[in-house]
């Protein structure tokens, strides 16, 4: 990554971090309903993937997908308004935290059913191949999702039809509150892709430059017609699975051992050494967050008389 | 131009004509390629349109249902064949949480133009896991349309609407209707959803029936006519959307309502139809409405048991006689 790219990556990561920390606060103040799943610690994957994708590329993601959508550059005002259930939200308040969708930026949707979006990505890739369009579809999911039938069926389909899709597994070591090593017979999720003869690579998900490089190269290969690729991002969430998680399943020491490699601080250090004004970036991110929060709070609620609007497209 | 053909041939012709008209229509399903499908509905389409468009899939219902949805979100109009409707149970998430919800959850950002079609129903001794009727279940999943053609002409005309439409569709064929032959208005306009068909006009009792139950109702009505009882048979053709107006009007005329359905009677769409009519036209009813549905047991294999479980022309006849 050149300096400009790295600044962009840091800005995206910082935006995701501050967006999600703010969600935590707003949740505590009852501005947000339901459950929220934060990706704090995993921002390097989001930023690396988002920056490596071309504008025409498509994405499906999960309930832990705030960051992935922010990295696609959906204005955070609309995401914050969605979190607060407002009509100005990206999904008009019909979706919520787990369902950010932004078709105009190729985000086909975040899914709250583990692994359900993976076959959707394979279908989008089928469209690209059939319609001879040059978009690549990226699908992001967790380590736990690799235990779902939908995952295996989707990988097999992508391999059999050689479709232009990139599988990105965020291995954060836990499937909800269960250590992944206790519930899979493999050491790496990438081994599962090998069974389908999909080229697979292991990436340090705490290094935004490595993520960016691996995704960029994979997307280029896929776009040139080489078929699907699988990337396993070794990563870690520095917060609980969801708001209120007591985290009894892991030790403080384990969390600390990852925290020292927090991709935000390592990237900030790197940029500072290049003479970049980190405080300036942070201040500008802070202004964006404040703007998003006031935009959301000032936005109107959806009108209950329009409850049925959008059950079907255009109706 | 009216032409006699089977229900299978009518579907096959409708799919073929639509694929010729719109090359965004693609077919996914098991054995639908060279073999032409287990029930021959896609016969000849693989030869005509090629293997990229008529995709013979692995036995991965979750995988290819989901794939169809993803393709529908990105410009295609997939038609998925479900070999036996019972098998959609292994992929229910893609129907109950995905196809029907993505448009709404996204705030109306995109259509999901996908048709899930296949046969269902009892009467052939296929056993409990190959015989159930699922329309009631699908009616309880807002965001998806539920279509049940009962004749070759309806199969032909309703499929065209299904595939031209921007909303997801469950298109339920019946394994014991595939062989029936009747006239099809080839080249006709698509049959709109939400428009019931008055199959037979009558004065004494309204019988609402879909799919194969229309055949049963017709048989019963013939016999009852000989006894001087006149039945009006209404085939709603689509359960979502539902043409309540036509049914309510008929009940206002006859004062009596029987709903016949092949899905299990407890928690059924038939019960909902009766409920709506009672709310709208209670004062016109001369007797309590009746519901004839499949008994609340898994469909048995043995013939006398299977016959006892599902509706029949005799059961309909008895019900009418008990009302008039
Ligand atoms: C089909 C389904 N089963 C269970 C759940 C509940 N659930 C939500 S997240 C999750 C764990 C998923 O773990 P992983 O795929 O590793 O993703 P992560 O949460 O770690 O990002 C579970 C079990 C669900 N949402 N969907
Ligand atoms: Mg995980």
Considering only CB atoms, which chain A residues are within 8 Å of B75? 127, 131, 133
Quote the CA–CA distance of A138 and A189 in Å, as a whole number.
17
E strand segments, A65-152: 107-111, 137-142
B190 located within any domain: no
pLDDT of residue A29: 97
One domain for residues B202 and B167? no
d(CA B58, CA B64): 8
| Shortest-distance ligand to the CA of residue A65 | 1
Q: Token digits for B12?
A: 């096959």
pLDDT of residue A244: 86
For residue B68, the chain A residues in CB contact (below 8 A) are 123
* Structure token pair of residue A229: 């690729």
Residue A53: phi, psi to the nearest 5? Answer: -80, 145
Tens digit of pLDDT for each residue in A148-191? 999 999 999 999 999 999 999 999 999 999 999 999 999 999 99
List the alpha helices (DSSP H) in chain B: 7-21, 45-49, 61-72, 92-93, 102-105, 135-139, 152-164, 212-226, 244-254, 269-281, 303-309, 313-323
Q: From the list A113, A153, A309, which residue is nearest B97 (CB)? A: A113
- Whether residue B191 lies inside any domain: the answer is no
Tell me the pLDDT band of A38, cut-offs 50, 70 and 90.
Answer: very high
Whole-number Å distance, alpha carbon A19 to ligand 1 midpoint, is: 22
Which chain B residues are within 8 Å of A161, Cβ to Cβ?
55
pLDDT above 90 coverage of chain A, percent:
99
Residues B208 and B111 in one domain: no
CB of A79 closer than 8 Å to CB of A105: no
Contact A130/B73, CB-based, under 8 Å?
no
For chain B, the residue count is: 324
Enclosing domain of residue B168: 2-185
Closest listed residue to residue A21, CA positions, set A293, A295, A300, A294: A293
What are A58's strand-pairing partners? A137
3-class secondary-structure state, position B100: coil
Close Cβ partners of A168 (under 8 Å, ≥ 6 residues apart): A45, A49, A138, A139, A140, A141, A215, A231, A233
Q: How many Å lie between the alpha carbon of B193 and the closest alpha carbon of chain A? A: 14
pLDDT of residue A310: 95
CATH number at residue B170: 3.40.50.970
Do B10 and B146 belong to one domain?
A: yes
For residue B192, is it within any domain? no
pLDDT in tens, B211-255: 999 999 999 999 999 999 999 999 999 999 999 999 999 999 999
CA distances from B14 to B123, B174, B187, B214 (A): 26, 17, 9, 22
Distance CA B220, CA B89 (A): 33
B73: which chain A residues are within 8 Å (Cβ-Cβ)? 108-109, 120, 123-124
Please answer yes or no on whether B76 and A122 come within 8 Å at the CB atom: no
pLDDT number for residue A243:
85
Q: Which residues contact A226 (CB under 8 A, 6 or more apart)?
A: none
By Cβ distance, the residue of A90, A101, A116 closest to B97 is: A116
Nearest CA to ligand 1 atom 9: A176
Cβ B103–A310 below 8 Å, yes or no? yes
Residues B151 and B107 in one domain: yes
Contact of B45 with B72, CB cutoff 8 Å: no
Nearest CA to ligand 1 atom 10: A176
According to CATH, the superfamily of the domain at A3-301 is Thiamin diphosphate (ThDP)-binding fold, Pyr/PP domains (3.40.50.970)
CATH number of the domain encompassing residue B277:
3.40.50.920
Mutation test residue for ligand 1: of A41, A96, A116, A144, the one with most atoms within 8 Å of CB:
A144
pLDDT tens digits along A50-97: 999 999 999 999 999 999 999 999 999 999 999 999 999 999 999 999
Chain B residues within an 8 Å CB radius of A309: 108
Query: For residue A209, how far is the Cα from the chain centroid?
Result: 16
Nearest ligand 1 atom to the CA of A142 is 15
B285 lies in some domain: yes
Whether residue B36 is predicted with pLDDT greater than 90 in this model: the reply is yes
Mean pLDDT within A284-295: 98
What is the mean predicted confidence (pLDDT) over B293-303? 98
Does B283 share its domain with B144? no
Same domain, B16 and B150: yes
Ordered strands of the A229-234 beta sheet: A107-111, A58-62, A137-142, A165-171, A229-234, A200-204
Nearest to A41 by CA among A244, A265, A201: A265
Contact across the interface for A313 and B167, Cβ inside 8 Å: yes
Minimal-distance CA residue to ligand 1 atom 4: A114
Give the DSSP H/E element, type plus range, for residue A60: strand A58-62
Nearest atom in ligand 1 to A241's CA: 19
Residues B155 and B204 in one domain: no
Using a 10 angstrom Cβ sphere, with 0-12 exposed, 13-18 middle and 19 or more buried, the burial of residue A21 is middle
- In this structure, the residues whose C-beta lies within 6 A of any atom of ligand 1 are A 64, 112-114, 141-145, 170, 172, 174-176, 241
Burial A203-222 (b: 16+ CB within 10 A, else e): bbbbbbbbbbebbbebbebb
Are B265 and B151 in the same domain?
A: no
pLDDT band (50, 70, 90) for residue A35? very high
Residue B1 pLDDT: 81
Domain ranges of chain A: 3-301
Q: Are residue B180 and residue B216 in the same domain, yes or no?
A: no
Residue pLDDT, tens place only, B254-290: 999 999 999 999 999 999 999 999 999 999 999 999 9
Q: Give the atom of ligand 1 at the shortest distance from the alpha carbon of A176.
A: 11
Same domain, B103 and B218: no
Q: How many CB atoms lie within 10 A of CB A183?
A: 12
Could you read off the pLDDT of A220-249 as tens digits, one per residue? 999 999 999 999 999 999 999 988 899 999
In ligand 1, the atom with minimum distance to the C-alpha of A114 is 26
Averaged confidence pLDDT in chain B: 98
Entry field: residues in chain A: 315
Average model confidence (pLDDT) for chain A? 97
In this structure, which residue's CA is closest to atom 21 in ligand 1?
A142
Instruction: State which of B138, B156, B185 marks the end of a domain.
Output: B185
Put simply, the answer to whether A123 touches B73 (Cβ < 8 Å) is: yes
For residue B304, whether the previous peptide bond is cis, meaning omega lies within 30 degrees of 0, is no
Residue of B107, B113, B168 to mutate for A, most A C-beta atoms under 10 A: B107
At B38, list the tokens.
């287990």
Among B111, B18, B25, B115, residue whose Cα is nearest residue B65: B115
Domain boundary among B129, B164, B185: B185
Domain boundary among B158, B185, B212: B185
The answer for residues whose C-beta is within 8 angstroms of residue B280's C-beta and 6 or more apart is B244, B248
Same domain (yes/no): B81, B180: yes
Determine the residue of A63, A68, A175 to mutate for testing ligand 1's pocket, defined as the one with the most ligand atoms within 8 A of the Cβ atom. Answer: A175
Looking at the predicted structure, is the pLDDT value of residue A252 above 90? yes
* pLDDT at residue number A104: 97
Domain total of chain B: 2
B308 and B275 in a common domain: yes
Q: Which residues of B are annotated as catalytic?
A: 61, 130
Instruction: Give yes or no for a contact between B65 and B91, defined as CB atoms under 8 angstroms apart.
Output: yes
B58 closest CB neighbour out of A156, A312, A313: A156
CA distance A106 to A108: 6
């Amino acid at each position: 990554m050149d300096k400009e790219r790295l600044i962009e990556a840091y800005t995206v990561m910082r935006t995701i971090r501050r967006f999600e920390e703010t969600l935590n606060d707003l949740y505590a103040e009852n501005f947000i309903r339901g459950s929220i799943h934060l990706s704090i610690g995993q921002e390097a994957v989001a930023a690396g993937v988002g920056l490596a994708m071309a504008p025409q590329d498509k994405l499906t993601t999960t309930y832990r997908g705030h960051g992935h959508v922010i990295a696609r550059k959906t204005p955070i005002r609309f995401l914050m308004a969605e979190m607060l259930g407002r009509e100005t939200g990206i999904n008009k308040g019909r979706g919520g935290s787990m369902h950010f969708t932004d078709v105009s930026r190729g985000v086909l949707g975040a899914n709250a059913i583990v692994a359900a979006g993976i076959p959707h990505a394979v279908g989008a890739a089928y469209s690209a191949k059939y319609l001879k369009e040059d978009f690549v579809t990226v699908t992001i999911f967790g380590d736990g999702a690799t235990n779902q039938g939908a995952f295996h069926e989707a990988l097999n389909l992508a391999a059999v039809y050689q479709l232009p899709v990139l599988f990105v597994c965020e291995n954060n070591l836990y499937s909800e509150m269960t250590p992944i090593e206790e519930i899979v017979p493999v050491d790496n999720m990438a081994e599962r892709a090998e069974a389908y003869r999909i080229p697979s690579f292991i990436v340090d998900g705490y290094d935004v430059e490595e993520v960016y490089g691996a995704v960029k190269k994979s997307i280029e290969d896929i776009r040139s017609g080489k078929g699907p690729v699988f990337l396993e991002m070794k990563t870690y969430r520095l917060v609980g699975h969801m708001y209120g998680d007591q985290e009894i399943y892991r030790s403080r020491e384990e969390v600390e051992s990852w925290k020292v490699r927090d991709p935000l601080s390592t990237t900030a250090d790197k940029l500072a050494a290049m003479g970049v004004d980190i405080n300036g970036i942070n201040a500008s991110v802070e202004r964006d967050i404040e703007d998003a929060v006031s935009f959301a709070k000032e936005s109107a609620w959806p009108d209950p008389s329009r409850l049925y609007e959008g059950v079907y497209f255009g109706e | 131009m009216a032409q006699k053909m089977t229900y299978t041939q009518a579907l096959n012709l409708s799919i073929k004509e639509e694929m010729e008209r719109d090359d965004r229509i693609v077919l996914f399903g098991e054995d639908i390629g060279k073999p032409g499908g287990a029930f021959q509905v896609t016969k000849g389409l693989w030869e005509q349109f090629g293997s990229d468009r008529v995709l013979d899939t692995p036995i991965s219902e979750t995988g290819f249902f989901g794939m169809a949805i993803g393709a529908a979100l990105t410009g295609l109009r997939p038609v998925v064949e479900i070999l036996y409707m019972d098998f959609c149970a292994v992929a229910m998430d893609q129907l109950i949480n995905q196809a029907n919800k993505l448009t709404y959850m996204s705030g109306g950002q995109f259509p999901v133009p996908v048709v899930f079609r296949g046969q269902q129903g009892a009467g052939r001794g296929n056993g409990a896991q190959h015989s159930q009727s699922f329309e009631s279940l699908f009616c309880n999943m807002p965001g998806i349309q539920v279509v049940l053609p009962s004749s070759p002409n309806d199969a032909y005309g309703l499929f065209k609407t299904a595939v031209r439409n921007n909303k997801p569709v469950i298109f339920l064929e019946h394994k014991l209707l595939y062989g029936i032959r009747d006239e099809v208005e080839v080249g006709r306009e698509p049959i709109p959803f939400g428009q019931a068909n008055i199959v037979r006009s009558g004065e004494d009792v309204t019988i609402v029936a879909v799919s194969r139950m229309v055949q049963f109702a017709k048989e019963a009505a013939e016999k009852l006519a000989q006894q001087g009882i006149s039945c009006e048979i209404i085939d709603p053709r689509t359960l979502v959307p539902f043409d309540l107006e036509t049914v309510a009007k008929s009940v206002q005329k006859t004062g009596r309502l029987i709903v016949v359905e092949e899905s299990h009677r407890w928690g059924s769409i038939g019960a909902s139809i009766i409920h709506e009519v009672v709310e709208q036209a209670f004062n016109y009813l001369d007797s309590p409405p009746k519901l004839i549905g499949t008994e609340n047991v898994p469909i048995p294999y043995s013939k006398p048991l299977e016959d006892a479980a599902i509706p029949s022309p005799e059961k309909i006849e008895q019900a009418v006689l008990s009302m008039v």
